[in-house]
Amino acid sequence: MSEIPWWALPLVAVVFALAGAGVTLLVAARDEYARSRAKRTKRWYAERKEAYIALMTEFERATYRLRAALDSGQPPPGPFTYVDAVGPALMQVRLLASGQVRSAALAVHLLIEKLYTEQPTPPRGVDPEKSVREMLGHVPLVMQQFEAAVREELGIEATPPPPPVEPPSRGLRSYIRRDAAPAESRVTG
């Protein structure tokens, strides 16, 4: 007869059941944490990307409106038109963006705002309209710095990733030769 008491087997079963349940809870909690972290990261990128795209779109619209007004010889729209259009998108970027992106966005905003609010006084001998057109020509350059800061923050590469390298396909003969060679060496050796 065995010297193990009658209650030892149920006790061991209960201990292992509790240990299994504990491990299951830990694994489930770890998986849930990983899923929620992935969701937060995806949402972080999506929010910022949408905000940056909205702001870039408003900057482009404002620049187009100004350029169209200059080409048609009409006075540019009022500054409140620009601020009303760009304001919500700019506020969202100011809340969500990193310092570098925020600075680049504000640089573009201030340049366009200056074009809408005041007609800069050019130096003597320079046509005032040429001065405004020259400043308008700087907008794409400043926008380029904003785009570069956005790309850096979001980790967007300008070049596509390299294609995946596929292992060379082997035919059946290469497997037969490889398997047959050690067998022959065992026989001779």
Domain residue ranges in the chain: 49-159
Question: In angstroms, rounded to a whole number, what is the distance separating the alpha carbons of residues 52 and 150?
Answer: 7
Number of H helices and E strands in the chain, helices first, is 5, 0
Q: For 125-148, write each residue's pLDDT tens digit.
A: 666 666 777 778 888 888 889 888
Indicate yes or no: pTM above 0.75: no
Q: For 76-107, write each residue's pLDDT tens digit.
A: 778 888 888 888 888 888 888 888 889 999 99
Cα end-to-end distance, the chain, whole Å: 56
CA-CA-CA-CA torsion for 175, 178, 180, 186, nearest 10 degrees?
-150
Find how far residue 32's CA is from the centre of its chain.
Answer: 23
List all residues 6 or more positions away from 149 whose beta carbon is below 8 Å from its beta carbon.
100, 101, 103, 104
